[in-house]
Amino acid sequence: MALDTPYRAIFCDLFTDQTIDILPLRDVQFEDYIGRAGSLSGTIPVPNEEMADRVRKVLAGRTTVYLERGGDLWWGGIVWTTTLQSSGRGVLTLGIQAATFDSYATRRRIRTDITYTTPTDQLVIARRLWTEVQAGLGRSGIAVGTETSPVKRTAAWRLGDETVYQEALDQLAAQENGFEQQILVYRDPVTGERIRQLRLGHPKIRTGATDMLFDRPGAILSYSFPDDATRGGTTALARGASANTNAAAESRPTVSAEKVDTTLLNAGWPRVDLSSDHNEVSDVPTLNSLAAASLAQAAGSVLIPQISIRLGGIVPPALLGRTARIRITDEWHPGGLDRRYRVIGVKVSPPERGRPDTAELYIEEA
């Protein structure tokens, strides 16, 4: 980051969360999303031996990085890759690639039997999985909450299947009437301690009681509304593992009932088939739920608008789950667009070399 950037890059030990150093970070971009891991990339300049000794402490897989702006934490995650590079002119840099703490669940596998034969609150099951995941992070860990939902499910994962925790969580969340998950980083307002907090929300994660307001002309620098029919459909089928226990017989996958959006078909949409594979699920009701959820999320076409805004004091660090009121007046919207959207993703480009501090917000209908 340039010297005049409003952000500070704080590097810490992953296991203890003790600060290692505050280092300059250039060419930075970072992003975060509800339901999947975000990323950060940047380079640390190494102009001399003194800086080299400091930068050596940034170890891939053992270091975290937080970005702080105005005393608030805007991003936090694990440094998974570092690249020491020397240019043709002998300029040394250490490139880093990091991902939000959600990414840790992709590096852990279920190596114990977890079984819920009695229908149990889906958020209780998710919290059990996250509790086992975060135990591998030592004293720093990830705090879990007490959220509840009215939806109860059965679930089972077995020792030896080597199921990735993130895949189990995604499968649980992706079912009909599922939930959303995200790990929020912030400072405790009393102690100043850095907190990594698991957030679970049924059916959606929502943040804040008041709407943010963005106008064009105004705070909105640019926007795009991609409408992608290649990702949508009007029917859906989910395939799972084979339930065949006879080794001599042909092994065929278990399949859900076909889910059909008759409303769209009657309105003139063509038949377009969606299919998803769930190799560790053999329970038909679960596959039916997964197929129904898949169709609900991608019925017809997929529209995920995005707006680019200039960051300022009115924009809070906890953007994910916030509701934004978008007002646009231009040639396409001569009468004015005025709608409420929920922020489901954010990509920030800090100011550098005269570039303003901007963010791209990925939004959906609120």
Which CATH code fits 7-104? 2.30.300.10
- Give the per-residue pLDDT at 4: 52
Whole-number pLDDT of residue 3: 42
The angle subtended at Cα 166 by Cα 164 and Cα 171, nearest 5°, is 100
Domain 109-201 belongs to what topology?
Phage tail protein beta-alpha-beta fold (3.55.50)
CATH of domain 207-226+304-365: 2.30.300.10
pTM attached to this predicted model: 0.92
SS3 204: coil
- Measured CA to CA in angstroms, residue 74 lies from 6, 90, 125, 324 at distances of 11, 33, 29, 18
- The confidence score (pLDDT) of residue 280 equals 83
What pLDDT does residue 308 have?
96
**pLDDT band with cut points at 50, 70 and 90 for residue 249:** low
H helical segments located in 116-215? 122-134, 165-173
**Residue 245's pLDDT band (boundaries 50, 70, 90)?**
low
Tell me how far apart the alpha carbons of residues 75 and 317 are, in angstroms, rounded to a whole number. Answer: 8
Q: Has residue 128 got a pLDDT over 80? A: yes
Query: Positive or negative CA dihedral for 48, 51, 53, 59?
Result: negative
H or E segment and range at residue 284: helix 284-297
| Least confident among 2-11, 190-199, 273-282 | 2-11
Q: What is the 3-state secondary structure (H, E, C) of 252-280?
A: CCCECCCEECHHHHHCCCCCCEEEEEECC
Strands 273-278 vs 235-240: parallel, antiparallel or unpaired? parallel
- Are 81 and 60 in contact by the 8 Å Cβ rule? The answer is yes
State the pLDDT at residue 6: 75
Supply φ then ψ for residue 189, to 5 degrees. -65, -20
**What average pLDDT does the chain have?**
93
Structure tokens at 205: 């994660």
Helix (H/G/I), strand (E/B), else coil: 233: strand
Please name the amino acid found at residue 43: T
Banded pLDDT at 314 (limits 50, 70, 90): low
Name the β-bridge partners of 26: 43
Task: Judge whether residue 257 has pLDDT over 50.
Answer: yes
Average pLDDT over residues 303-312: 90
Question: Can you tell me whether residue 139 is helix, strand or coil?
Answer: coil
C-alpha–C-alpha distance, residues 289 and 251, integer Å: 23
Which residue stretches of the chain are H helix? 49-55, 122-134, 165-173, 262-266, 284-297
Question: What are the tens digits of pLDDT across the range 265-285?
Answer: 999 999 999 999 998 888 899
CA distance 333 to 118: 52
Whether 7-104 shares its CATH topology with 109-201 is answered: no
Q: Per-domain residue ranges for the chain?
A: 7-104, 109-201, 207-226+304-365, 230-244+252-301
The structure tokens 């680019």 sit at 308
Band of pLDDT at residue 2, cut at 50, 70 and 90? very low
pLDDT 10s digits, 70-125: 889 999 999 999 999 999 999 999 999 999 999 999 999 999 999 999 999 999 99
pLDDT at 41 over 90: yes
